[in-house]
Amino acid sequence: MAAGHLVKVYFVTSNKNKFREVERMLDSELVMEPLEIPEVQALEVKEVVTEKARKAYEIVKKPLIVEDTGLYISALNGFPGALAKWMFGSMENEGVCKMLDCYKDRSAYAETCICFNDGKRCRVFSGRVYGTIARHPRGGGGFGWDRIFQPKGHSKTFGEMGMDKKNSMSMRAEAVLKLKRALDSDRI
């Protein structure tokens, strides 16, 4: 945050991996607020974070962010989108790879949206990375579907990249950078 900017921002998440990743990229004081806020079930990530930030602010009553990421698979008309957590919870990475074997088009994009809410302003920052779904999970790094998402122009999945490499180009990094710029300039 800009010099003299003293506002603490609370990150409403119970996911320690996401918290560490965002905290490292944001490079400012961030406080983990591990609340379980019910999420609206929608395909669009922006819709999910906007509603979640509104509900979270009613509880926390302090400047906060919420984050969600979706995976939009072209062959499935954008499914699972923001519902990825549920799909991968039942099918896992290998199941999604196998499901796409009957399609020629394995293209997809990942989108992260971060919503800042301080009770007066509610603003969404988003980032996207385009790529493909690998034929089989590869790599042991990352979390979620990192082992099957291969960013365009790269030969490795996010799961095969080290965290620093992934963070330098991920959809979350793009969204966090936009948030950081807004916080640093006090133009949130």
> Is 68 noted as a catalytic residue in this protein?
yes
Q: Which residues contact 24 (CB under 8 A, 6 or more apart)?
A: 167
The Cα 7–Cα 187 span in angstroms is: 13
Give the three-class secondary structure for 98: helix
Structure tokens at 141: 């790094």
Which of 68, 118, 146, 164 is flagged as catalytic? 68
In terms of Cα–Cα distance, which of 29, 185, 42, 9 is closest to 114? 9
- Please name the amino acid found at residue 141: G
Query: Three-class SS of residue 11?
Result: strand
Catalytic residue numbers, as ranges: 68
